[in-house]
Amino acid sequence: MADDPLDTLREQIRRLDLELVARAAERVALARRVGEIKRARRLAMVDYAQERTVLERARAAAVDLGLDPKVAEDLFARLIGASVTAQDEDSLRVSGTGVGRTAVVVGGAGRMGRWFGRFLSAQGYTTGSLDPAAAPDDDAWSRAALSTADLVICSTPPTVIAGLYGAWQTNPPAGLVVDIASIKTPLIEPIRSLQRAGGRVASIHPMFGPSVVMLRDADVVVCDTGDPEATEGVERLFRPTTARLVRLPLAEHDRVMADLLALAHAAAVAFALALPAEDHPVRSTTFQALELLAAAVMRESPDVYYEIQAMNPHSGEALARLSAALDRILATVGARDASGFRTLFDEGRARTRCEA
């Protein structure tokens, strides 16, 4: 009996799929070796010109082979991402920033706390989680190590951090104390008080969530607390990675975040709340994009997102602009003003740097 041609073709596809995976792994392994040479020569880990060359080469090859060039571009963009992630992991490991040093992550059982635990362990830190939800022996070790640890990361809500800083004023931790809070206003005075008590305090805001693996193009905001050594110490943690360090004055942080977080989150929540109770049988690409964004926001902690709205003194202004924008749309459409609607688009394009 002759082989079924469908089974034969599926077997060929299976073998090709396995070969693709093997080739991808081989490519990442070669990228690790490239990373070794870059570190030895003190070259930047990300080479955007080379990445552009790789993507253009992939698109051209796809066209020659009758493949949609977008498929090739997406495939190679992911391979580049995997390669940079592997190089980042190697850079963290060989940097040895934390070898022989200890770190305590306060709130280490939370999602961002666990992320920092992995991040610091990769750099050689002996890391513990000070958190009632952590393993009892881990929590006990961290409590004992807190006063002498080289690094203390505070991954808890701002109000909790403010209370900790107040309690630590009588005996500040010997190591560098760093908060990763999304809101800084409630921490400004506690930071100053802990500094006056002799503490070394830095303040950062990672502009990514705990699901992020690749730090390429991820921003880490470093707030200036007036302690250059503390700032240098926390920036040193991220220098082996491809993250982008952005310095902001501590007092300016929340004004910027009112737009980047409060406004963006509110728009996503409002869209989610405006969705119909029942699904429609069809979906547009715009609807799907917004629904995915809103769903990602709604999966996050409502307590954290409430603090971002309620504790930022500048969020009210941002939300007022959102409300006013919706009122303008309603008024323009209600007046059947086509020219006015074009004006809204022109203004929106200018603000999003989008060309018609």
The pTM of the full predicted model, rounded to 2 decimals, is 0.82
- Local confidence pLDDT in tens for the 356 residues of the chain: 668 999 999 999 999 999 999 999 999 999 999 999 998 888 877 787 888 899 999 999 999 999 999 999 999 999 998 998 889 888 888 877 788 999 999 999 999 999 999 999 988 999 999 999 999 999 999 999 999 999 999 999 999 999 999 999 999 999 999 999 999 999 999 999 999 999 999 999 999 988 887 787 799 999 999 999 999 999 999 998 889 999 999 999 999 999 999 999 999 999 999 999 998 899 999 999 999 999 999 998 898 899 999 999 999 999 999 999 999 999 999 999 999 999 999 999 999 987 76
Structure tokens at 308: 């971002």
- Measured at the CA of 298, the angle between CA 294 and CA 301, to 5 degrees, comes to 145
Start-to-end CA span in the chain (Å): 61
Going edge to edge, which strands form the sheet with 219-224? 126-130, 102-106, 151-154, 176-179, 200-206, 219-224, 244-249
